[in-house]
Amino acid sequence: MIKSCSLVLALLLTGISLAACGGEAADGERGAPIAVPADATPAATTPAPAGTESPTGADASIEPDQAAEVAPRTNRYRMTDAFRFVPTEEGIAEKAVLLTFDDGPKDEAVLRSMLDTLDKHKAKAIFFVNGYRVKQNPELLKLIHEREHAIGNHSWDHIDLKKESEETVERQIGDLQAEVESLIGEKPLFFRPPYGSGGDVVRRIAKNHGMLYMTWSNGSLDWDRSARDKPEEVIRNVLEQLHPGANILMHELPWTADALDELLTRLTGKGYAFIDPGEIEVDVTR
């Protein structure tokens, strides 16, 4: 009897001990810290690439971005007194023409058509704009600039500047310079007087504003009644007057836009290249 009681008591004590051990194991599995070897090296932090912002904030050692420098102009062509263009050195194509478009920006559909055609032929142009139209359509001026064409000054109101006072001429030219700069961050480098009518005063004021004064040497006559709604007439007029270094005058007109693809195709077929306005020498000291 005594042996039976001792056996029962022993079994009870063993069960209590095992239950207690099981509880400690469960707690230890959930909450015990993970041991780290004393000689373990913490994982290295990969530094951010130079010039990039740290995810936790900007590196105090990084200087603020500097204003981008304007790339120097490469003068491949210069303008003659007859408003034609000649190479500045040997090896540059003599058979080349400058494309220009006056009196915009005014019609988005026409302008986009012209820009797309110019892109197709990898050609750049000068768009001689009027101030009152820029005021009406600032987004179109920005579009021309974004498509990497040159902006030219064609006066604010498209009036005959040769008949105006010096004060008026200054205002007509200077106000447009300021307006264009406020929209695209740079001033025009080229000036064309409305109707090709200038004179000494107009030339001097244009030069004072750092612009190359020009009229043209090849008139498309797209503004004339004889060419209205007749793209083939625009093409014929340009080709009849074609010469190396031609300074071609056109306008932002629907029939000119319609003529442009065929005109540029024919010019290329005749071996002509297109002068990039960014490669024209702007020497206002002459």
| Residue ranges of domains in the chain | 96-279
Q: Phi first, then psi: what are they for 107, rounded to 5°?
A: -135, 110
Q: What pLDDT shows up at residue 77?
A: 98
pTM of the model: 0.76
Q: What pLDDT shows up at residue 42?
A: 33
Q: Look at the alpha carbons of 81, 85, 87, 88 in this order and tell me if their dihedral is positive or negative.
A: positive
Q: Looking at the domain covering 96-279, what would its CATH class be?
A: alpha beta
What are the C-alpha distances in Å from 99 to residues 32, 130, 220? 81, 18, 11
Per-residue pLDDT of the chain (286 residues; tens, 9 = 90+): 444 444 433 434 344 333 333 333 333 333 333 333 333 333 333 333 333 333 333 333 333 343 344 556 789 999 999 999 999 999 999 999 999 999 999 999 999 999 999 999 999 999 999 999 999 999 999 999 999 999 999 999 999 999 999 999 999 999 999 999 999 999 999 999 999 999 999 999 999 999 999 999 999 999 999 999 999 999 999 999 999 999 999 999 999 999 999 999 999 999 999 999 999 999 887 6
**Positions marked catalytic:** 102, 251
Q: What pLDDT shows up at residue 72?
A: 67
